[in-house]
Structure 1
Amino acid sequence: MLLAIDAGNTNVVFALVDAGAIRARWRIATDPRRTADEYAVWLSQLLALEGFRIGDVTSVIIGTVVPRALHNLQVLSDKYFKTEAVIAGQGRAPWGFQLDVEEPQNLGADRALNAIAAHANHPGDLIVIDFGTAATFDMVDYTGAYKGGIIAPGINLSLDALVTAAAKLPRIAIEAPKGNISVIGRNTVDQMHIGIYWGYIAMIEGLVARMKSEVGRPLKVIATGGLAVLFEKHTDVFDAIEPDLTIQGLWMLWERSR
C-alpha cells in the first residue's frame, strides 16, 4: 500500500491508500525537528491500532510546503519502509500540468496537488478553495492549467492574531452559529463569533464572486481542508466539498510517476 504524506504548515497528514481508497489517516503537529525515529514509533502504533503493519507500506510519496520537514520524512521512508520516497513536484513526479503564473516555482505543493485531483474529478473551469493555515483560492481552467489564485489568512490564524493583539478578548472556539442567527452581538464572545464566522463567509462569497466575474465563464467551486464543512450550512457558494483532495492528488501523482 501507499503511504501518502502531506506536510503542511500546521499538521502533517499520513494516509494509507490502497488502489485509490483511503484505508486510514492520521495527523500530527508539524515540527521540522521531529526525527524519523519519532515518526516511526508514533506511526507503528497507529498502524497496529488499525490492523496494519509497517511492512504493509510498500511505497511512499511526500508533498510538503515545509522544506525543513522533508529530510526526516525521507529518512523515515528509507529506514523504516525500505523504499525511496517519491517527492511531489520533483524528479520522476513533476506536476504534469501548465503553471500559467509569473512565479511557478513558488506554487505550494498542496495547491498543485489540489489542482491535479480537482481537475481529475470535475470537468470544466474550477475554483479550488483550501481552508488550511492560509485560505487559498485557486483557478484551474478546463485543460487542467493552473491560472493563479488568492492567498488569505486562515480563520484560525485570523483569530490568533485578534486574541494576541487585543488583551481583553478571550480565546474562543470556531463554530457554526446555532439557533436564531443574528449578526448583532449582545456580548463580547458573540460579537467575536460573528466577526470571525460571518466575516469569513463574506470573504469567501465576495472573493468567489469577483473571480467568477473576472473569468467570465461558469466556474465550479470545490472546497477542501478540515474547516470546509464548518461553512457549508450557511453558504451555497460550494458546489462540492472534498476533504481529502490533497491526499487524492498525492495518490494520482504517485500513479503517474510509476
Structure 2
Amino acid sequence: MLLAIDAGNTNIVFALFEPGPEPGDPGRIRTRWRITTDPRRTADEYAVWLSQLLQLEGFERGDVNDVIIGTVVPRALHNLEVLATKYFGVTPVIAGQGDAGWGIALDVDEPQSLGADRALNMIAAHASHGGDLLIIDFGTATTFDVIDYRGAYKGGIIAPGINLSLDALVSAAAKLPRIAIDEPATNSVIGRNTVDQMQIGIYWGYIAMMEGLVARMKAEIGRPVKVVATGGLAVLFERHTDIFDAVETDLTLQGLAILRARAHI
C-alpha cells in the first residue's frame, strides 16, 4: 500500500492508499491521519504515533511498501525521509523530483517557486475535470490557481488564510475575543454585538472576497471555467455561495497518489 504524506505549513496529513487494479490507477484512500506540523519532530516520534494509528485501523507497518512525500516545509522533509527508510524500509519518492516531476507546463514567471501542494491540486483536478479550471485551496494561505484546458498552470492568487486573518485581528486588537470560525446564526450582515460583528466580518467578508476574485479571474480568462474547492473549510463556505462547481477535500492527497502511479508506468 502507498503511504502519501502531505506536509503543509499547519498540518501534516498521512493517507494510506489501496492500489487500483490497473497500472497507473492511483487507488483509493483507506484511512488518513493528521498531525500538527513541527519540523523538530523526529522520525522516531512519527513512527511511534503512526504505528499505533495503523494498528487501530487494522494495518501493520509491513502493509506499507511505497511512500511519497509532498511538502512546502523544507525543514520537515529530512525526518519524513528517515521515517520512510528506517521504519518502512522504502526509499520515498519526493513530489516534484525525478520520476515524480509535475508533468504539467508551468507558464508563469517563477515556476520554481510554485508550492508542492498547489501543483498536486492541479494534477488531481486536471485528471478529474476537463476544460479550464480554477482551484481554491483553503489552507494556511488561501490560494487561487488557474490551469487551462491543456493542463498548463497559468498563474493565480495568494491571499491570507481565514485562520491567519482571524489570528491577526485578535492579536492586534486587545479587546476583541477569540471566536470560532463558523457561519453566522442569520444571513444579516449587520451585527448586534461584538462576536456577531466579528463572525460576519470573517465569514461574509471572506465569501465576498472569494466571489469578487473569482468573478474577476473568470472575466480575465474569457472562457468557461470550472471552480474546484479543496481544504477543510471549503464545506463551510459552500452552503452560502454558488461559486464552487465541485468540492474535493482530498485533492492534494489524490495528486500525490496520481503522481506516484504515473512514476510506476
TM range (shorter): over 0.9
1:51 aligns with 2:63: no
Instruction: State the alpha-carbon separation in 1 of the partners of residues 208 and 33 from structure 2.
Output: 32
Instruction: State the alpha-carbon separation in 2 of the partners of residues 97 and 181 from structure 1.
Output: 41
| Distance apart, 1:257 and its partner CA | 1.1
**Aligned residue in 1 for 2:41:** 34
- Structure 1 segment 10-21 matched on structure 2, within 5 A: 10-19=10-19, 20-21=27-28
| Distance apart, 1:247 and its partner CA | 0.4
Residue 172 of structure 2, aligned match among 165, 170, 173: 165
1:23 aligns with 2:30: yes
SS across alignment from 1:92: helix
Residue 115 of structure 1, aligned match among 122, 127, 136: 122
Instruction: State the alpha-carbon separation in 2 of the partners of residues 257 and 9 from structure 1.
Output: 26
What RMSD over aligned residues (CA atoms) do the two structures have, in Å? 0.5
| Distance apart, 1:177 and its partner CA | 2.4
Unaligned 5+ runs, structure 1: none
**Aligned residue in 2 for 1:8:** 8
1:209 aligns with 2:215: yes
1:68 aligns with 2:75: yes
Instruction: State the alpha-carbon separation in 2 of the partners of residues 163 and 115 from structure 1.
Output: 33
| Distance apart, 1:176 and its partner CA | 1.5
| Distance apart, 1:126 and its partner CA | 0.3
1:128 aligns with 2:128: no
Instruction: State the alpha-carbon separation in 2 of the partners of residues 177 and 120 from structure 1.
Output: 36
SS across alignment from 1:142: coil
**Aligned residue in 1 for 2:23:** none
Unaligned 5+ runs, structure 2: 20-26
Counterpart of 1:131, as a letter, is F
Deviation readout 1:129-174 (Å, 9 max, x if unpaired): 0000000000000011100000000000000000000000000000
Instruction: State the alpha-carbon separation in 1 of the partners of residues 209 and 61 from structure 2.
Output: 44
Instruction: State the alpha-carbon separation in 2 of the partners of residues 50 and 186 from structure 1.
Output: 47
- Structure 1 segment 58-97 matched on structure 2, within 5 A: 58-97=65-104
Deviation readout 1:67-100 (Å, 9 max, x if unpaired): 0000000000000000000000012210001000
Aligned residue pair count: 257
Instruction: State the alpha-carbon separation in 2 of the partners of residues 205 and 181 from structure 1.
Output: 16
Counterpart of 2:54, as a letter, is L
Counterpart of 1:17, as a letter, is F
Counterpart of 1:109, as a letter, is A
Instruction: State the alpha-carbon separation in 1 of the partners of residues 184 and 49 from structure 2.
Output: 36
1:139 aligns with 2:146: yes
Counterpart of 2:225, as a letter, is L
Instruction: State the alpha-carbon separation in 2 of the partners of residues 177 and 194 from structure 1.
Output: 6
Counterpart of 2:83, as a letter, is L
Residue 232 of structure 1, aligned match among 235, 238, 241: 238
1:193 aligns with 2:199: yes
| Distance apart, 1:181 and its partner CA | 1.5
Deviation readout 1:34-82 (Å, 9 max, x if unpaired): 0000000000000011000011000000000000000000000000000
- TM-score, length of structure 1 as denominator length: 0.99
Counterpart of 1:28, as a letter, is I
- What is the percentage of aligned positions where both structures have the same residue? 78
- TM-score, length of structure 2 as denominator length: 0.96
Contact persistence 2:184–2:196 (CA under 8 A):
no
